[in-house]
Amino acid sequence: MHTMTSLLKKMKQEEKLVMLTAYDYPSAKLAEAAGVDIILVGDSLGMVVLGYDSTIPVTISDMVHHAKAVRRGARDTFVVVDMPFATYHGDFDRTLQAAATLFQDGQADAIKLEGAGEVLETIERLTKVGMPCVAHLGLTPQSVGVLEGYKVQGKSLEDAEQLIADSLEAERVGAKMLVLECVPHQLAKKIAEALSIPVIGIGAGADVDGQVLVYHDILKYGVDRLPKFVEAYADVNEVATTAIRNYVDATKDGSFPLERHTFTMDESLLDTLYG
């Protein structure tokens, strides 16, 4: 269990926080080795790992399955796990059960919940039970069905005021961090200044306390089109496809395997073997 609340607050003042998603043992291992401050087991795994076209189909058991693998790869990193679609609305006992599963089976250090209103009330109740929560406002992909697509939030005066109010409320109810997705940078800056908890942006500009991006996006790994707010720091699609094609070609043309890939036994035994 990593209790990093005070450390995160300190870091808010001193250095930018780096959050990256990871979904399995190798991605977590590489993220930890590269110095990521916080790993997010995002429900984006539904899209980038499982191939769904939204995060809606992701279940609690999907999250637990992946969170456990992440923990095995990154024992020393603070791990936030997403509450998936429709697992934290309505009956609080059901929400509590789902959240407890992420902490107990998934070994989460904190959980993340999308949305304002009743979701912030839920964060308040979960926090009182002793469960650290991260709020997620702005673009909330689990609501894609009722939003007008994946687009920037808080551009009108009314929406901007609402987002500021919701952000302040998130801090008031005890959220340990706030993720702001797809928000104009000027608005994100105002929110980061107004809050004492760290504000982590994705598509929210540079004037926040840290950034979060999706593992497969920054590596260009199995994804084709990247959102405007992503920087790809590698092209794994290219590297991996070339490598796999080389294996295919080498096997077809007999240049693989070579002697160095091969095991040998005592030749004299072969006579006995075949009589």
Residues forming the site for Na ion (CB under 5 A): 42-43, 82
Q: Which of 32, 171, 181, 231 is catalytic?
A: 181
Q: Stretches 1-9, 39-47, 97-105, 237-245: which one binds ligand KIV (CB under 6 A)?
A: 39-47
Nearer to ligand KIV, 126 or 177 (CB): 177
- Helices within 173-235 (DSSP H only): 185-194, 215-218
Residue 205 has which token pair? 């500009």
Q: Are 133 and 111 in contact (CB under 8 A)?
A: yes
Q: How many CB atoms lie within 10 A of CB 222?
A: 14
Say whether 181 is catalytic. Answer: yes
If one asks whether residue 60 binds ligand KIV (CB under 6 A), the answer comes out as: no
Q: How far is the CB of 160 from ligand KIV (least distance, A)?
A: 20
Q: Which does 62 bind (CB under 5 to 8 A by kind): ligand KIV, Na ion, none?
A: none
Asked if residue 257 has a cis previous peptide bond (ω within 30° of 0), the answer is yes
Q: Which does 122 bind (CB under 5 to 8 A by kind): Na ion, ligand KIV, none?
A: none
- The residue from 60, 212, 219, 223 that contacts ligand KIV (CB under 6 A) is 212
Q: Rounded to whole angstroms, how far apart are CA atoms 45 and 58?
A: 8
- The residue from 4, 36, 44, 116 that contacts ligand KIV (CB under 6 A) is 44
Q: Are 62 and 89 in contact (CB under 8 A)?
A: no
Q: How many CB atoms lie within 10 A of CB 176?
A: 23
In the chain, the amino acid numbered 202 is: I
Q: Stretches 41-49, 96-104, 229-237, 267-275: which one binds ligand KIV (CB under 6 A)?
A: 41-49
Asked if residue 57 has a cis previous peptide bond (ω within 30° of 0), the answer is no
Q: How far is the CB of 82 from ligand KIV (least distance, A)?
A: 5
Interaction residues for ligand KIV, span 159-178 (CB under 6 A): none
55 Cβ contact partners less than 8 Å away, ≥ 6 residues apart: 43, 44, 46, 47, 84, 85, 141, 142, 144
Instruction: Write out the binding residues for Mg(2+).
Output: 43, 82, 114
Instruction: Write out the binding residues.
Output: 43-44, 82, 112, 114
**Which residues would be at the binding site for ligand KIV (CB under 6 A)?**
21, 40, 42-44, 82, 179, 181, 202, 212, 214
